[in-house]
Amino acid sequence: MTAQPTQANAQQRYEVRRGDLPLSCPTAEMALWNSHPRVYLPIEAEGGTSTCPYCGAVYHLVD
């Protein structure tokens, strides 16, 4: 049985790990049918925090 994708943009804050890089919003685990176009976020170059320009979700690098 495969895991169901999470709802895209359901939260405004997300924690991500280096293993999740390269980071995109929506992430690979999110359903895309009702979301915005995928955009890659330069979280490492931005000091460990990135904000999606489409939905405003904030991603924090925790490791």
pLDDT band (50, 70, 90) for residue 53 = very high
pLDDT tier at 6, thresholds 50, 70, 90? low
What mean pLDDT comes out for the span 9-37? 85
Whether 55 contacts 25, CB under 8 Å: yes
Q: Give the list of residues 6+ apart from residue 27 with CB closer than 8 angstroms, or none.
A: 14, 16, 20
Q: What is the mean pLDDT of residues 15-30?
A: 92
Mean pLDDT of 44-53: 97
Distance CA 20, CA 15 (A): 10
